[in-house]
Amino acid sequence: MSEHSPHSMRAAVRSVRDAGRATVLVIGGGINGIATFRDLALQGLDVVLVERGDFAGGASSASSHMIHGGVRYLENGEFRLVKESVQERNRLLRLAPHFVKPLETTIPIYSTFSGILAAPLRFLTHRSGKPQERGAALIKIGLTLYDTFSRDGGSVPRHRFLGRKKSRAELPALDENVKYTATYFDASMHDPERLALDVLLDGLAANDRARALNYVEAVGRTEDGVTLRDRETGEEFTVSADVVVNASGPWTDLTNAQLGQQTRFMGGTKGSHIVLDHPELLAATKGREIFFEHSDGRIVLIYPLKDRVLVGTTDIDADPSEPAVCTEEEIDYFFDLIHHVFPQIAVDRDQIVYRFSGIRPLPRHEDTAPGFVSRDYRVEIDDSRSTPVVSLVGGKWTTFRALGESLSTKVLELLGRGRSASTTDRPIGGGRGFPTSDAERREWIGAHLAGAGDRADVLLARYGTRASEVWAHIQKGEDAPLADGAVSTRELAWMVENEFVVHLRDVILRRTSLAFTGDASSEVIDELADALASLLGWDATRRHEEATQIRQELGDRHGVALAS
Residues that bind ligand FAD (CB under 6 A): 27-33, 50-53, 57-60, 62-66, 68, 217-218, 247-251, 255, 258, 271, 313, 358-361, 395-398
Nearest distance from C-beta of residue 32 to ligand FAD, angstroms:
3
- Report the relative pairing of strands 269-276 and 308-312 from DSSP bridges: antiparallel
Looking at the Cβ atoms of 115 and 320, the one nearer to ligand FAD is 320
Residues 517 and 278: beta-carbon distance below 8 Å = no
Give the residue from 319, 246, 216 showing the smallest Cα distance to 32.
246
Give the amino acid at 475: Q
Rg (CA), the chain: 23
Nearest distance from C-beta of residue 297 to ligand FAD, angstroms:
17
Nearest distance from C-beta of residue 217 to ligand FAD, angstroms:
4
Nearest distance from C-beta of residue 355 to ligand FAD, angstroms:
12
Nearest distance from C-beta of residue 415 to ligand FAD, angstroms:
22
Residue 45 and residue 209: Cα distance in Å, rounded?
7
Nearest distance from C-beta of residue 118 to ligand FAD, angstroms:
24
Looking at the Cβ atoms of 135 and 388, the one nearer to ligand FAD is 388
Nearest distance from C-beta of residue 298 to ligand FAD, angstroms:
12
Residue 409 and residue 414: Cα distance in Å, rounded?
9
Measured from the Cβ of residue 404, the count of other Cβ atoms closer than 10 Å reads 27
Residue 394 and residue 153: Cα distance in Å, rounded?
25
Please give the full DSSP string across 152-180, using - where no structure is assigned. Answer: TT--SPPPEEEEHHHHHHH-TTS-TT--E
Looking at the Cβ atoms of 150 and 313, the one nearer to ligand FAD is 313
Nearest distance from C-beta of residue 111 to ligand FAD, angstroms:
26
Looking at the Cβ atoms of 43 and 63, the one nearer to ligand FAD is 63
- Report the relative pairing of strands 389-393 and 378-382 from DSSP bridges: antiparallel
Please give the full DSSP string across 284-316, using - where no structure is assigned. Answer: HTTTPEEEEE-TT--EEEEEEETTEEEEE---E
Across the chain, which distance is largest between two alpha carbons, in Å?
70
Nearest distance from C-beta of residue 474 to ligand FAD, angstroms:
30
Residue 503 and residue 58: Cα distance in Å, rounded?
16
Looking at the Cβ atoms of 359 and 459, the one nearer to ligand FAD is 359
Residue 312 three-state SS: strand
Residue 442 and residue 448: Cα distance in Å, rounded?
10
Looking at the Cβ atoms of 207 and 214, the one nearer to ligand FAD is 214
Residues 48 and 213: beta-carbon distance below 8 Å = yes
> Which DSSP state fits 503?
S
Residue 480 three-state SS: coil
Give the residue from 272, 269, 279, 351 showing the smallest Cα distance to 314.
272
The alpha carbon of 389 is separated from its chain's Cα centroid by a whole number of angstroms, namely 25
Nearest distance from C-beta of residue 370 to ligand FAD, angstroms:
11
Nearest distance from C-beta of residue 110 to ligand FAD, angstroms:
24
Looking at the Cβ atoms of 217 and 491, the one nearer to ligand FAD is 217
Q: Which residues contact 97 (CB under 8 A, 6 or more apart)?
A: 431, 434, 436, 464
Residue 195 and residue 232: Cα distance in Å, rounded?
25
How far from each other are the two terminal CA atoms of the chain, in whole angstroms?
Answer: 34
Looking at the Cβ atoms of 5 and 313, the one nearer to ligand FAD is 313
Looking at the Cβ atoms of 187 and 470, the one nearer to ligand FAD is 187
Give the residue from 401, 62, 18, 6 showing the smallest Cα distance to 213.
6
Looking at the Cβ atoms of 119 and 324, the one nearer to ligand FAD is 324
Looking at the Cβ atoms of 183 and 398, the one nearer to ligand FAD is 398
Residue 63 three-state SS: coil
Q: Which residues contact 434 (CB under 8 A, 6 or more apart)?
A: 97, 98, 427, 464, 465
Looking at the Cβ atoms of 52 and 340, the one nearer to ligand FAD is 52
Taking CB atoms, the residue at the shortest distance from ligand FAD is: 30
Residues 374 and 126: beta-carbon distance below 8 Å = yes
Nearest distance from C-beta of residue 188 to ligand FAD, angstroms:
9
Looking at the Cβ atoms of 316 and 415, the one nearer to ligand FAD is 316
Nearest distance from C-beta of residue 105 to ligand FAD, angstroms:
12
